[in-house]
Amino acid sequence: MKVGIIGLPQTGKTSLYNALTRSAVELNRFGGGEVNVGVIGVPDPRFDYAVAQCAPKKISPATIEVTEGGARVERAEQQDRGDKFGTDFFSAVRNMDALILLVRAFDDASVTVPEGGINPKREAEQINEELMLADLTVIEGRLEKLEKARLQKRQTNAEAAEHQVMNRMKAHLEDLNPIRSFQMTEDEARSVRSYAFVSGKPLILVANVGEGQAGEASPAIIASLAEYAASLGVPLVSLCAKVEMEVAQMEPAEEREFLEAMGIMEAARDRLIRAAYSALGLICFFTVGEDEVRAWTIVRGTNAVGAAGAIHSDLARGFIRGELVDFEDFRAAGGCWDEAKAAGKMRLEGKEYIVKDGDILHIRFKV
């Protein structure tokens, strides 16, 4: 799954990328066209517990791919035009599965203050409106072709159904509502999936605050942004990208000591990674043993056969049953599958069982 970091210039996107991926990409790369891509593990105390108890030869956490630089917003040459969103920006965004929208909520003498002052909500609104406008442009272009086919009486049934959906989506966008909040049936969603509407992608708002607000749960400067995020129904994470980047370069023990000194219980990057994973509608189940402890990523609502297929297609094809232990029962058994089984905590589940986040699952199959 791919998550893209987007935002206006000088909001701290590269710092955030370095923090999330523990990289050291050069900052202030003005005019550069490079794209940074990193695969990161999803922090999960349950996975860490299983690893500690099983001491496996191999560990494989759940992961997501983070991209920065592929959807760059450039400063326009003419001052009155402000920031510009080019074709490359929207092409890159369409390739993402989810978006992290970073807005500036810090004051730094070394970074130019935008006209009108620092306003996180205004920045978020600006980019969201650009995303909706891009989708509206695509829809209007498609509607012209669909209307032409209708007038020429060569419109197929599938195109007629798409025509109706597109008209509804157009009205939705014109009311400044993102595709993300547009209600569709499964068939309707399938008919427009290929357009990869950018305002339809899962979104996480991130406020990049100053160092002085790094440990605050709700800094005053993001109060209006928090209300905006709530109105959109999207998560909001507050962090200081500069501090998070510095922390990401530390050894684990040094990192814990530093965070505690700042009154921070957990690195904000970990909260953000989990928020992105959740926004994608993903959960994980575990397979555990001496050879490997692995977190397998599936879409929420996946049944046992689908989970088996995530491991290997042969397991889904020859599925017999799933042997399952709830994670808390696994913990109560000291992190030992055999102990949990002996305590009667293992149960058998069939093909239609809906796998829950954190389930420990072994698949029995025969091909």
More confident residue, 80 or 123: 123
Q: What is the mean pLDDT of residues 115-136?
A: 91
Structural domain spans, the chain: 2-41+63-113+202-279, 129-199, 301-365
Topology of the domain comprising 129-199: DNA polymerase; domain 1 (1.10.150)
Q: Which residues contact 24 (CB under 8 A, 6 or more apart)?
A: 18, 249
Q: Confidence band (pLDDT; 50, 70, 90) for 30?
A: low
What is the value of pTM for the model shown?
0.86
Q: Confidence band (pLDDT; 50, 70, 90) for 81?
A: very low
End-to-end CA distance of the chain: 30
Closest CA to 172 of 148, 199, 146: 199
Per-residue pLDDT tens for 90-101?
Answer: 778 888 999 999
Specify the pLDDT at position 229: 95
Specify the pLDDT at position 75: 52
Rounded to whole angstroms, how far apart are CA atoms 312 and 261?
46
Question: Beta strand 319-325 with 63-68: parallel, antiparallel or unpaired?
Answer: unpaired
Rounded to whole angstroms, how far apart are CA atoms 100 and 335?
35
CATH for 301-365 is: 3.10.20.30
Q: Poorest-confidence range of 17-31, 125-139, 174-188, 294-308?
A: 17-31
Rounded to whole angstroms, how far apart are CA atoms 334 and 54?
10
Mean pLDDT of the chain: 89
- Tell me if 363 sits within 8 A of 311, measured CB to CB: yes
Report which residue type is found at 85.
F
Assess whether pLDDT exceeds 50 at residue 236.
Answer: yes
Specify the pLDDT at position 338: 93
- CA distances to 128, 155, 234 from 170, rounded to whole Å, are 16, 20, 22
For the chain, the residue count is: 367
Assess whether pLDDT exceeds 50 at residue 314.
Answer: yes
Which architecture, in CATH terms, is 2-41+63-113+202-279? 3-Layer(aba) Sandwich (3.40)
Q: Confidence band (pLDDT; 50, 70, 90) for 34?
A: confident
Closest CA to 124 of 25, 277, 230: 230
Question: Residue 271 in 3-state DSSP?
Answer: helix
